[in-house]
């Protein structure tokens, strides 16, 4: 994966890119060389990087880059920063980390796709309906004996037209949700898929097992098909979220920011102290800036805007 930040970006924005990239996982050899070169190119780069590290990382993590860039890169890669990324554990879905080829491939694969802040109601060829949340993509193939759909990204809710002879299957990752006449939600992020049943029953199958979910229950499975135990969920809150209204009841701040991120351009980062906060309230996601300001104010958090990056941290 190659860097895709503008070459003429201010040092602080470049530094924010590297903090985000390092948190997402180990650097490739090419990225390691690029990071070392960036640190060595200008003392202002190291200063900007240290400024963000001071805000975002705990005292035991990365701080001022040593004067020898090669040694600094080793420390950076060996010490995994504990930065909390918004957009779920969704660092992999941030636009800056998605190669242009992947975005183009997604558009070729999808029959329907939504952008930031966009929700769509779609009538499928079989008469079923789907609601696509922001930054989501869905593909489908209708056959005489079955209805096959694949959630490529994001969240989709389905109201399935009853047809016992043609199972309605939504694939995501290494699993699928199978229904014949019901309503349910499928959410997909970088590492897992979640299925919520709003009405009746849905069969969830993966390469490592399966479960029959009844109304009001949900299940989550990993990218390799490992199923978590079934659990209850708040149906009213789930439906409200589909309509752009977030109901938070002692919810982790990271989850709230992840939902908000899909309605707002740019990236939102949380410091470790901020990430530990819990949130209560009702937020209008169609007004993301107002929601973000209200969250920061109610929790007593400070805000730092760096071009396309917004950082929330405890003062």
The string of pLDDT tens digits covering residues 269-291 is 888 778 889 999 999 999 999 99
Both structure tokens of 297: 């104010």
> Going from the N-terminus, what domains does the chain have, and what CATH number goes with each?
11-82 (no CATH), 83-113+244-315 (3.55.50.30), 114-237 (2.60.120.1440)
Judge whether 275 and 254 are in contact, CB under 8 Å: yes
| Confidence (pLDDT) at 270 | 86
Q: Bridge partners of 148?
A: 141, 169
Averaged pLDDT for residues 116-121: 96
Residue with tokens 């973000």: 292
Residue with tokens 């180990």: 26
Residues 6+ apart with CB under 8 A from 112: 120, 122, 130, 132, 137, 138
Q: Bridge partners of 93?
A: none
Element (H or E) spanning 85, and its range? strand 84-85
Judge whether 112 and 129 are in contact, CB under 8 Å: no
pLDDT tens sequence across 100-116: 566 788 888 999 999 99
Q: What is the Cα–Cα distance from 173 to 192, expressed in whole angstroms?
A: 7
Residues 6+ apart with CB under 8 A from 239: 198
| Confidence (pLDDT) at 304 | 84
pLDDT tens sequence across 223-267: 999 999 999 999 999 999 999 999 999 999 999 999 999 999 988
pLDDT band, very low/low/confident/very high, at 23 (cuts 50, 70, 90): low
Q: What is the Cα–Cα distance from 192 to 273, expressed in whole angstroms?
A: 26
Q: What is the Cα–Cα distance from 157 to 181, expressed in whole angstroms?
A: 13
Both structure tokens of 211: 């479960």
Both structure tokens of 219: 């299940």
Higher-confidence residue of 297 and 6: namely 297
pLDDT band, very low/low/confident/very high, at 24 (cuts 50, 70, 90): low
Q: What is the Cα–Cα distance from 229 to 32, expressed in whole angstroms?
A: 39
* CA-to-CA dists, residue 97 to 21, 56, 246, angstroms: 8, 19, 26
**284: phi then psi, degrees, rounded to nearest 5:** -90, 105
What is the 8-class DSSP label of residue 223? T
Q: What is the Cα–Cα distance from 5 to 25, expressed in whole angstroms?
A: 17
| Confidence (pLDDT) at 63 | 40
Both structure tokens of 294: 């209200």
Judge whether 138 and 150 are in contact, CB under 8 Å: yes
Degrees, nearest 5: CA angle 209-136-115: 170
* CA-to-CA dists, residue 127 to 39, 47, 272, angstroms: 56, 58, 47
Q: What is the Cα–Cα distance from 111 to 136, expressed in whole angstroms?
A: 11
């Amino acid at each position: 994966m190659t860097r895709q930040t503008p070459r003429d970006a201010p040092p602080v924005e470049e530094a924010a890119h590297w903090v985000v990239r390092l948190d997402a996982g180990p650097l490739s050899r090419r990225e390691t060389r690029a990071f070392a070169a960036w640190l060595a190119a200008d003392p202002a780069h190291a200063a900007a990087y240290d400024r963000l590290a001071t805000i975002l990382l705990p005292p035991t993590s990365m701080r001022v880059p040593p004067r020898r860039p090669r040694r600094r890169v080793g420390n950076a890669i060996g010490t995994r920063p504990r930065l909390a990324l918004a957009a779920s554990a969704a660092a992999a879905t941030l636009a800056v980390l998605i190669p242009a080829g992947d975005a183009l491939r997604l558009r070729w694969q999808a029959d329907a796709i939504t952008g930031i802040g966009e929700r769509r109601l779609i009538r499928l060829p079989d008469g079923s309906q789907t609601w696509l949340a922001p930054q989501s993509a869905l593909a489908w193939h209708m056959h005489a004996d079955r209805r096959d759909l694949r959630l490529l990204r994001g969240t989709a809710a389905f109201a399935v037209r009853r047809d016992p002879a043609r199972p309605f299957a939504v694939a995501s990752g290494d699993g699928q949700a199978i229904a014949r006449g019901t309503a349910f939600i499928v959410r997909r992020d970088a590492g897992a898929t979640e299925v919520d049943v709003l009405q009746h029953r849905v069969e969830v199958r993966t390469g490592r097992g399966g479960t029959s979910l009844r109304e009001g229950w949900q299940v989550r499975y990993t990218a390799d098909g490992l199923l978590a135990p079934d659990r209850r969920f708040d149906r009213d809150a789930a439906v409200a979220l589909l309509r752009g209204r977030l109901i938070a009841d002692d919810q982790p701040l990271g989850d709230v920011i992840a939902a908000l991120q899909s309605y707002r351009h740019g990236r939102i980062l949380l410091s470790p102290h901020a990430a530990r906060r819990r949130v209560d309230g009702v937020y209008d996601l169609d007004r993301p800036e107002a929601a973000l300001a209200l969250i920061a104010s109610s929790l007593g958090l400070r805000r730092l805007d760096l071009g396309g990056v917004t950082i929330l941290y405890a003062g």
